[in-house]
Each structure stands twice: as C-alpha cells, then as structure tokens.
Amino acid sequence: MRLPSTAPWRLVRHRLPGRLAVVACALWLSLLPGRAAGAGLTLDDDALWGYAEQLRQQGEYYRAVSEYKRLLHFFPASPHAGRARVSLGLALLQGSEPAQALEALEPAALGRLPDTLTGDGYFLRGVAWLELDPTRPYAMREPELAQALGEFETIPPDWPLRERTAGFVRAMREPPQLPSKSPMLAGSLSAVLPGAGSFYVGRYAEGSLAFFLTALLGYATVTSFDQDHVAAGTVFGALTLAFYGGAIYSAANGAHKYNNAVRETFLGEQRRRFGIAVGAGRVAGAFNLQF
C-alpha cells in the first residue's frame, strides 16, 4: 500500500514501525475534510446541504451554521444556496443568536434569493428583531418592534402566510385601549402620603413598607429634636428625607413597570395568536414553516 508522501506521513513513518504507521496514516486520511477514508470521495454541495439540514433538525444549530456557511462559501452557485441562506438564519434564530441572524439575512442577501424564499427571509428577519434582547423594558424595545413590523410589511403579498403577518402588524399598529398608570400621578400621591403611589400601581407591599419606614423615621426625628438630641435628629431627618424621596421615585418607577408589563403581555399574546414565535428547535410554531 503506497501512501502519499506528505509531511504528516513522513512524521508517522519515522516514529512508528511498520503496520502501526500505516494504520495511523489511514486514520489521519479519514479525518481530512471532504474525503471519505479509502474511498476518494469529494464532498459536494448536495452532501453539504443534507448534512447541514440533518444537524439543524437534530438541534445541533451551531454545527449546522458552520455547514451552511461552508456551502455558501464553496458553492455560491449551488441550487441549494438560496435555501441554505434562509436555513442559516433559521438555525441562528433557533440557537438564540438573533443579531447574527439579521446579519446573515441582510436585505442585500435576500435580494439575491428566489422569489419563493424572499418571504421566508423577511419573516425570519422580523422574528429576529423581536428576539433582540427581550429582557429590556418594552419602552426601550419599541425601535426594534418598529423594525420588525417593517420587515413583516416587506413580505411579498403572494407569500403563503402573508395574511397572518399582516394581522400581527395591524394588531400592533392599532392596539386596543390598554390599561395604564400615570407615573406623575403615582409620584404625586407618594409625595402627599408616602406609599400611596405604590398602592395606586398595585405594589402594596412596597407601599406599606414605604409608609411604615418614613413614618417611623419621621417620628424618631421629631422626638430627637424635642429631646435636644440634635445629632441624632439630624441623622434621622436625613434618613427620613431619603426614604420620602425613595417612596416618590419607587411609585413613579412602579407605574412605568406596570405599563411595560401590560404592553409586553399584549405583544406576547399577539405573537402567540399569529404564530410569531421562536423556541428551541422550532420557529413560528403556528406557521410550521418548512425550508
């Protein structure tokens, strides 16, 4: 058996005797990318596509991403290239990488896709915008929501599930009158009576604590000055003012949190209603998209 005179083979041949060297070199050849051991088979775009899809369907999203990128790099004219671009974005979303999904599905790349895949690409871009840092308060995520709605509106009218995305856009652009709390009113109530603003926004434990501590520290302040304990009265007075101001701030902040929670709940309800959802191993469960 004559093996190629490559640098790894020469290293093995000098360090290992006879048949052991042959076995070691055969193992090395089996690890070469794009070649099956002893068969001389070169990896093609069909094999890459099938392997990438298999990895994604098995939940190995990051490995699938590497294979999609490999296919797009080495076989840009492949019949699978368009679907690989969309599946690349899909795998990144399923792997919780929405920012990278947006890069993979940039408009310039989508413009080179077949018409049948353009809608899929813009749908995934819309979902990616919704998934960007979902832990931030709703008010801070409104620019991303606007971007998502714009992506959904870009979906071609003949896309099979266009009506569902259009329904989601309408629901978010024309929401019903949602309950809300006024931060100014909440702060004003706590300025008049510490803790009252927190009660107004439904944070009863916080309001009770604010009232109790402010009243206790206020009593300690007055008592200290009445007994000519100026130093103690000064300390208690400073603490009273701090807790008084904190009660006002907490009430106003509680109103903002209440409003954010209401709107976040509404957004989640509409996403579930129209199938604009992402989860481990699935994208848009109600859509059941097949790429």
Same domain for 116 and 53: yes
Q: Per residue in 216-262, pLDDT tens?
A: 988 899 898 888 888 888 988 899 899 889 999 999 999 999 999 99
Tally of structural domains, the chain: 2
Write down which residue in 174, 205, 235 finishes a domain.
Answer: 174
d(CA 135, CA 189): 29
Q: What pLDDT does 288 receive?
A: 43
Query: Is there a single domain that holds both residue 112 and residue 152?
Result: yes
Beta strands in 86-180 (DSSP E): none
Structure confidence at residue 271 (pLDDT): 92
Instruction: Say if residue 159 is in the same domain as residue 192.
Output: no
pLDDT at residue 91 in the model: 93
Q: Tell whether 140 and 190 lie within a shared domain.
A: no
Residue 25 lies in a domain: no
26 pLDDT tier (thresholds 50, 70, 90)? low
Helix and strand element counts for the chain (H, E) = 14, 2
pLDDT at position 24 is 54
Average pLDDT (199-208) is 91
Q: Identify whether residues 164 and 50 lie together within a single domain.
A: yes
Choose one of 125, 153, 174: the last residue of a domain: 174
Indicate if 65 and 163 belong to the same structural domain: yes
Asked whether the predicted pLDDT for residue 85 surpasses 90, the reply is yes
Q: What is the CATH number of the domain that holds 80?
A: 1.25.40.10
d(Cα 124, Cα 181) in Å, to the nearest integer?
34
**Residue 157 in domain:** yes
Which one has a higher pLDDT value, 143 or 15? 143
Cα-Cα-Cα-Cα dihedral of 96, 97, 99, 101, to 10°?
Answer: -110
Residues 81 and 168 placed together within one structural domain of the fold = yes
Residue 276 lies in a domain: no
Residues 6+ apart with CB under 8 A from 133: 141, 144
117 found inside a domain: yes
- The amino acid at 33: P
34 found inside a domain: no
Is 205 within a domain? yes
- Structural domain includes residue 278: no
Q: What is the pLDDT of residues 33-59, one digit of tens each?
A: 544 444 555 678 888 899 999 999 898
Residue 6: the pLDDT is: 47
Q: What is the reported pLDDT for 278?
A: 63
- Rounded to two decimals, the pTM is 0.74
Instruction: Please tell me whether residues 65 and 166 are part of one structural domain.
Output: yes
In 13-113 the beta strands, taken as DSSP E runs, fall at none
Kindly state whether residues 197 and 167 are assigned to the same domain. no
Judgement on whether residues 54 and 169 belong to the same structural domain of the protein = yes
Among 139, 174, 209, where does a domain finish?
174
Q: Are residues 123 and 142 in the same domain?
A: yes
Which residues span the domain enclosing 55? Answer: 45-174
The predicted structure's pLDDT at residue 229: 85
User: Which residue pairs from 158-161 have beta carbons closer than 8 angstroms and sit at least 24 positions apart in sequence?
Assistant: 158/119, 159/118, 159/119, 159/120, 159/123, 160/119, 161/123, 161/275, 161/287
